[in-house]
Amino acid sequence: MDLLNRISELEGECLKAIAVATTAEALQEVDLKYLSKKGLFSECMKSLRDVSSEDRPKVGARANEAKTRIDAALTAKRNAFADEALNAQLQSEAIDATLPALRRPPGSTHLITKVMGELVRIFQRLGFEIADGPEVETEFHNFDALNMLDDHPARDMQDTFFVGGVDGKTAKATNQTGVVLRTHTSPVQIRTMLAKKEPPVRILAPGAVFRSDYDVTHSPMFHQLEGLYVNKKVSFAELKGCLLFFAREYFGPNTQIRMRPSFFPFVEPGAEIDVSCVMCSGKGCRVCKETGWLEILGGGMVHPSVFKAAGMDSRLVQGFAFGMGIERIAMLKYGVPDLRLLFENDPRFLKQFGI
């Protein structure tokens, strides 16, 4: 029968085409050419209607047999191509387990942490101990106990972050307890004196503080280190000696300090403390604005009102306190031009100071 011969002919052509196909795309073209709805087999089987009813089952069975062989050949070839692709992928992605592992760059201590540790170790040699306190403070510990009156500018909304959005004046008017993000670490001094009651007290209070400010030299969050020494007899000369020791240990043995009278509500007398310029050794340069001096901290003798708020009798005890900004010290010590570099976490900057 001509139709049986044509089926056998198409089967042979298709199997040969499958055998010589070298890519999955070429194999797909063979599939479309012979087995699709408009393929050669479909066209051939249209002639089945012209076959007698007696011979039609025989022809149909032969056609099914041919398609089964072709499908098997196609499947085998597709699997072969898939295996080749997988082997090629595995080969390209092969990992040599004997090679040394990639080393991640090690982390390092942040410059702020580094400087804070350096400062703490210097003052610990003078007998100071670390004290800590909460960053969310009451207005009593942050302002009232430190002799900062209700109309002090630092208590305004534009300078202080009030928790819950209630400013100090509103809190007092409605008999609420004002709560703030601490604007300095001085509240730790109050908490320590309230807890200890009796001298001597010799503490350092390092930590984060918060103020509503942001520019090249200011940040809404920064760090301070405050010191407090309380005993039965403490003099201003001891404060000067303590700070001179710090300046020479940290900035060099030839460093000088000067103390200029200044006002802080929580000390009396109070002073701004300058060091001889670390860039020009006091000769005058752009950094110190040709003065030869750089302001680094403030301090003074503890105000009697602070002792009273802390439950101590200023007739029986005396003390001095001082405070400095860690970021400012870091910028001076390591020549950092912009405060914001300390908070942007660029590893290219930070790794310069890693330890």
The CATH number of the domain holding residue 255 is 3.30.930.10
Residue 97 lies in a domain: no
- Quickly state the pLDDT bin for 331 (edges 50, 70, 90): confident
DSSP state string for 221-286: EEEEEEEEEEESS--HHHHHHHHHHHHHHHH-TT--EEEEEEEETTEEEEEEEEEE-TTTTTS--T
Residue 271 lies in a domain: yes
Residue 102 lies in a domain: no
Residues 224 and 115 in one domain: yes
What whole-number distance in Å separates Cα of residue 179 and Cα of residue 301? 27
Instruction: Evaluate whether 236 touches 322 at the Cβ level (below 8 Å).
Output: no
Number of domains, the chain: 2
Mean pLDDT, residues 269-298 taken together: 88
CB atoms under 10 Å from CB of 327, counted, come to 21
- Quickly state the pLDDT bin for 229 (edges 50, 70, 90): very high
What whole-number distance in Å separates Cα of residue 119 and Cα of residue 338? 21
Q: pLDDT per residue over 132-169, tens digit each? A: 999 999 999 999 999 987 777 766 656 788 887 555 56
Domain ranges, residue 51: 2-92
DSSP-derived letter for residue 104 is: P
Residues 298 and 333 in one domain: yes
Instruction: Evaluate whether 267 touches 240 at the Cβ level (below 8 Å).
Output: no
What whole-number distance in Å separates Cα of residue 48 and Cα of residue 60? 8
pTM score of the predicted model:
0.68
Q: pLDDT per residue over 50-90, tens digit each? A: 777 777 788 778 878 888 888 888 888 889 888 888 888 88
